[in-house]
Chains A and B, each alone.
Chain A
Amino acid sequence: MADFEIPEPKEIPVIPRVQPGVMSHSAPFVAKPNFQEPLGFPGELVDNWEDVAVKKLGELTGKYRSLQVYLDSCVKCGACTDKCHYYLGTSDPKNMPVARQDLLRQVYRRYYTLAGQYFPKLVGAVDMSKEVLDDWYSYYHQCSQCRRCSVFCPYGIDTAEISMAAREIMDAVGQGQKYCNEIIGKVYKIGNNLGLPEPALVDTLEGLEEEVEEDTGVKVRYPVDEKGAEVLLVTPSADFFAEPHVDGLIGYGKVFHQAGISWTLSSHASEAANFGMFIGSYENMQRVSMRVREAALELGVKRIVFGECGHAWRVAYSFLNTLAGPFDFLDPKYPVPQHICEVTHDLIKRGALKLDPSANDDMVLTYHDSCNVARASRMGDSPGGQFFIPREIIKAVCNNFVDMPPDTIHDATYCCGGGGGLLTDDLMELRVKGALPRMEALKQVVDNDGVTHMAAICAICKSQFTKVIPYYGFGMDMIVSVHQLVSNAIVLANNEQ
């Protein structure tokens, strides 16, 4: 099934002993010039790339306080060393967060600190070299920027910030990653990650309407580019046809239908994902974000709602106001933007949705907290809403719910193993191994509590799990969308708008 060893899930997870270099061969495909240039990066490795890299590093420490403080502050206490799912799954010590940071820190020290300039050996500082660049390319593409290490660091050092900076430097010298940069290019050219053009989108949604009507006898609408709708829904393009994502999209439509809220998708902003974050590029992240603002203005909506997508929600919740705000042209009664789970949760609380949880009685559910939702955003008014809102929705639409062990959920959740721009087939070994801690936690509730399905609210998590879960002996249909569960339980009424 695979040309690498699939890790064995243990009853009681163990911290592996370090095995230097075992993942040094893992690296994604390098972006060709035609994927680099539309994003404003050099097509291939520039001649004086060592200087460019060092200079870019200096520029970034001046632009990002996080980077400057994090490069200086680490005391090598080791608290993070057993927190990364990629270390736990691969045993490669450079996948320990501190060691991953040190790949950049060693260069920072060499060129930007007195200690590193005069006593490089003493403080572990090294010159910028091809070897270093290769290590960066390999190991900064073994970080899903999930921020689990940052939760456990006494100074909150966030390896995501470091790996974003490293990727930005690599883009600046002309060694970008194909997967992310190609996708960002598609968003600019066509409007979404999957490269789905407008007519195909319209067609897909019409098909969806027919399917839902056939299933339920009710005409639920899935509109695109409808001016004057109340809500602009921005959702990951995987929701348009990937399984189980599309079942979630069907659910959003049913919720809006049942609540009598008019809504629309936009062909201009037909993608919630924003891979600009993964490559650490403020400019690209902003350019991708502006589509949402433009679509909202063009369609004259009053609210913006995001569908189930983890990193998109981070960008939306934490950055959108910064990148594409202010949103003073929208209805001030609602936060901008809202998560679809906030909308549904609010409707459930107000009794606006008729639900029959027995429709999901064939399943025993658990819930996977997506990293970016859990540790880099919020839902609702109070801290931690991102944990209880999705769970309350699930409990309202399902009778059987069990949480995974406490050290693997909420802000201690393990990444699915495919986030941060790593959801690509050229990193399959890494993805399978990185899923180990989540698989171990899942196996526990499957064995002890009879869990049959795991719900998620992230397009990447859903795609990653459906792909890697068979390696661990589970069925790929075990992964469900939260709004797929809502969709199953919702009792529709004819509600012509």
Chain B
Amino acid sequence: MFLTVLYAFIFYAAFIILVAGLAFKIRQYWTTPAPLKIPTTPAPTTTTGVVFRMGRELVFFESLFRSSKWTWIFGWMFHIGLFLVLARHLRYFIEPVWWWVELIQPFGKYGAFAMLAGLAGLWARRLLVDRVRYISAPSDHLMLALLIGIGATGALMTYVTHTDIIALKAFLLSLMYFDWLNMQPLPGDPILVLHLTLVAALMIIFPFSKLLHAPGVFFSPSRNQVDNPRERRHLAPWAAKLESGGQQ
């Protein structure tokens, strides 16, 4: 019971930190003006074009593909794997399970391998390529360790030592529906507890770390601006104030 209550608290706290932290950063990015037109050209001349440019970046990592095939293949494998794994995990939070979540279960299972292989590749690059080693701080290595830890404990439970997944789901649902009086116990398997601890750590770290690249990519002016400075005058509020302030 102690474990159940402790992890209930941890996950509520982690969730609040994740959501509030991200909301704060997104608000900050949203409200900070971009006073000048700085798209990296050639850039789309219409908003639709920008949507496609951003779409290609998000789905295919277009720029990274141009710059480094190794980083691209490992990075893309990791992210796609992570995406499939996360989508697969929806079934632990939803009752009844949506049909498409059922459908992707096998892909999500193998996604774990793509994720781990990608992370291993990225870490190898970080250790072996002298340029990348030079720019790595301890936190860059720890982040990889954390993600590998999450992936490895997860894969372990899928393929080697299963946990009581029905009980876990009951616990998660009672968390989600604030069903505190009828709180379902969290299974005490060490692997599961480790997995959940690492996940909570990741959620807490997210808004304070380089994981901010996830919201950041949407706000990058060099990618999300329309190339139309001659057609439309672009003026930030603080720059407009400068102008009315009698700047010659």
Q: Which A residues are CB-close (under 8 A) to B217?
A: 73, 154-155
Does A74 have its Cβ within 8 Å of any Cβ on chain B?
yes
A18 with B137, Cβ < 8 A, contacts A65-B34, A66-B34 known: no
Does A77 have its Cβ within 8 Å of any Cβ on chain B?
yes
Query: Closest CB-CB distance, B179 to chain A, in whole Å?
Result: 33
Which residues from chain A sit less than 8 Å from chain B, CB to CB?
Answer: 15, 17-18, 20, 61-66, 68-70, 72-83, 93, 96, 98-99, 102, 113-115, 119, 121-124, 147, 150-158, 161, 282-283, 286-287, 290, 317-319, 321-322, 325-326, 335-337, 374-378, 381-384, 386-387, 411
A375 with B40, Cβ < 8 A, contacts A17-B130, A68-B32, A72-B25 known: yes
Q: Is there an interface contact between B213 and A73, defined as CB atoms closer than 8 Å?
A: yes
- Cβ-defined partner of B61 (8 Å) among A72, A76, A154: A154
Q: Is there an interface contact between A151 and B40, defined as CB atoms closer than 8 Å?
A: yes
Bound complex: CA A219 to CA B133 (Å): 64
B200-236 near A? 1/0 per residue, CB < 8 Å? 0000000011101100110111110001011111111
Residue of B35, B44, B131, B236 most packed against chain A (CB within 10 A): B131
Query: Closest CB-CB distance, A285 to chain B, in whole Å?
Result: 9
A318 with B37, Cβ < 8 A, contacts A72-B212, A283-B242 known: yes
Q: Is there an interface contact between A81 and B139, defined as CB atoms closer than 8 Å?
A: no
Does B138 have its Cβ within 8 Å of any Cβ on chain A?
yes
Q: Which A residues are CB-close (under 8 A) to B232?
A: 321
Does B248 have its Cβ within 8 Å of any Cβ on chain A?
yes
Does B190 have its Cβ within 8 Å of any Cβ on chain A?
no
Does B238 have its Cβ within 8 Å of any Cβ on chain A?
yes
Q: Which of B52-66 contact A (CB under 8 A)?
A: 57, 61, 63-64, 66
- Cβ-defined partner of B208 (8 Å) among A78, A113, A286, A337: A113
Number of interface residues of B (CB under 8 A): 66
Q: Is there an interface contact between A76 and B42, defined as CB atoms closer than 8 Å?
A: no
- Cβ-defined partner of B137 (8 Å) among A62, A80, A123, A153: A123
Q: Is there an interface contact between B67 and A80, defined as CB atoms closer than 8 Å?
A: yes
- Cβ-defined partner of B230 (8 Å) among A72, A76, A336: A336
Does B36 have its Cβ within 8 Å of any Cβ on chain A?
yes
Q: Is there an interface contact between A79 and B64, defined as CB atoms closer than 8 Å?
A: yes
Bound complex: CA A119 to CA B131 (Å): 24
Q: Which A residues are CB-close (under 8 A) to B44?
A: 383
Q: Is there an interface contact between B68 and A153, defined as CB atoms closer than 8 Å?
A: no
Bound complex: CA A282 to CA B36 (Å): 9
A376 with B61, Cβ < 8 A, contacts A63-B238, A317-B230 known: no
- Cβ-defined partner of A319 (8 Å) among B34, B37, B129, B139: B37
Bound complex: CA A59 to CA B63 (Å): 30
Q: Which residue of B lies closest to A81 (CB)?
A: B131
Q: Is there an interface contact between B229 and A317, defined as CB atoms closer than 8 Å?
A: yes
